[in-house]
């Protein structure tokens, strides 16, 4: 995927590129990942795209709105949500993936089950986006068996059933960095190319409201890990907590604000429900950056 305007951006392991199964995604400009929940119980849009037909229509709509990547999930991971049996997740996800790979865009699958990983990668999916950071038995081997697939490792404290009943304590930044170090070590031992990896600090996954906003305010510190960052602020409860907006679907404006702030602090990918509004806001952000004295000087030198 080509960078549209040639602007420079963060460089990770020698290149601002995310290697995936079928695509080398240019990260010199931030990328928008559109959320496709094939679930009846997602916290924000549960049931709206639960059938294969409606999910595919939603995929097409998100692409029209400017999504660079599609992220398909068959199990809700909202706090307190029950685990979905393997057969049910496969039945939800595989028919959508089988058709969505024909859209010729990077396709991410939000799953922690190695059996689902293997099945979707065999169908041609590009990225495994794992809230468990490949800690489930067999997950690392599943992605290692597909030598080019992209990987996103997310930090999560505890599990979806208990993470917000007993959220983590203390300074969130060193905890997240230490967690990433621990999960990256076995990938390196398996010979997995670092260009395949992005990292997600897990906004809302076992953290207090203050800790979540510390992740945003101190996000540049997370870049010390040396990998591109993927951030998912869209419609999260912490946004509701500071805005007073109880209805998740009513949090579009503050979600877009959080996405732009995350990008301004170095995020390479933002995972969002509201693609059109996020893409428009990032166009304003890019225009502002193009007119800064530093970028104007760089352009003149070129």
The total of other beta-carbon atoms located within 10 Å of residue 136's CB is 16
Q: Verify whether residue 118 is a known catalytic residue.
A: no
Q: Exactly one of 236, 251, 265, 276 is catalytic; which is it? A: 236
Q: Is 236 a catalytic residue?
A: yes
Q: Take residue 56 and report the two structure tokens written for it.
A: 């595919």
Q: Give the Cα separation of 268 and 125 in Å (integer).
A: 20
Cα separation values, 227 from 18, 89, 276, Å: 10, 30, 27
β partners of residue 19:
24
Between CA 57 and CA 286 the distance in angstroms is 29
SS (H, E, C) 206-250: CCCHHHHHHHHHCHHHHHHHCCCEEECCCCCHHHHHHHCCCCHHH
Q: Which residue in 69, 62, 66, 55 sits closest to 21, CA to CA?
A: 69
Rounded CA-CA distance 112/124 in Å is 17
DSSP 8-class letter at 44: T
Catalytic position from the list 92, 235, 271, 276: 271
Contact predicate 17/150, CB 8 Å: no
As a whole number of angstroms, the distance between CA 240 and CA 271 comes to 17
Catalytic residues: 236, 271
């Amino acid at each position: 995927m080509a960078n549209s305007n040639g602007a420079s951006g963060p460089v990770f392991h020698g290149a601002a590129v995310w290697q995936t199964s079928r695509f080398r995604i240019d990260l010199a400009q931030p990328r928008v990942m559109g959320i496709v929940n094939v679930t009846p119980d997602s916290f924000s849009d549960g049931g709206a795209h639960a059938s294969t037909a409606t999910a595919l229509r939603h995929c097409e709509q998100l692409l029209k709105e400017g999504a660079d990547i599609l992220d398909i999930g068959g199990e809700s991971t909202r706090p307190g949500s029950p685990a979905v049996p393997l057969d049910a997740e496969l039945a939800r996800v595989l028919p959508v993936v089988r058709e969505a790979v024909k859209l010729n865009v990077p396709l991410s699958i939000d799953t922690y089950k190695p059996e689902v990983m293997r099945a979707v990668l065999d169908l041609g999916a590009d990225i495994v986006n794992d809230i468990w950071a490949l800690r489930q038995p067999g997950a690392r081997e599943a992605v290692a068996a597909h030598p080019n697939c992209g990987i996103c490792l997310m930090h999560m404290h505890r599990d979806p059933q208990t993470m917000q009943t007993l959220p983590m304590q203390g300074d969130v930044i060193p905890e997240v960095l230490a967690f990433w170090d621990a999960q990256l070590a076995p990938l390196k031992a398996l010979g997995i190319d670092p260009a395949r990896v992005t990292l997600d600090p897990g906004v809302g996954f076992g953290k207090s409201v203050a800790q979540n906003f510390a992740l945003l305010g101190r996000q540049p510190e997370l870049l010390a890990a040396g990998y591109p960052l993927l951030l998912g602020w869209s419609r999260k409860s912490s946004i509701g907590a500071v805005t007073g907006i109880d209805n998740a679907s009513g949090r579009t404006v503050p979600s877009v604000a959080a996405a732009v702030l995350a990008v301004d602090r170095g995020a390479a990918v933002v995972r969002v429900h509201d693609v059109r509004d996020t893409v428009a806001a990032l166009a304003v952000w890019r225009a502002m950056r193009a007119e800064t004295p530093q970028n104007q000087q760089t352009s003149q030198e070129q």
